[in-house]
Amino acid sequence: MISYEEFDKVDIRLGRIVTAEDFPEARVPAYKLTIDVGPDIGIKRSSAQLVGAHTKEELVGAFVCCVVNFPPKQVGKFMSEVLVLGFKNTAGPGWVLIRPSKPDVVIGDRLR
CATH number, domain of 60, equals 2.40.50.140
Residue 103 pLDDT grade (very low, low, confident, very high; cuts 50, 70, 90): confident
pLDDT in the model for residue 112: 85
Among candidate residues 94, 33, 34, 46, the one with its CA nearest the CA of residue 74: 46
DSSP SS3 for 5:
helix
Range of the domain at 66: 11-97
Percent of the chain with pLDDT over 70: 100
Structural domain count, the chain? 1
pLDDT in the model for residue 64: 97
Q: Which residue has the higher pLDDT, 70 or 102?
A: 70
pLDDT above 90 (res 37): yes
pLDDT tens for each residue of 3-27 = 999 999 999 999 999 999 999 999 9
Q: What is the mean pLDDT of the chain?
A: 96
Report if residue 82 sits inside a domain.
yes
Report if residue 112 sits inside a domain.
no
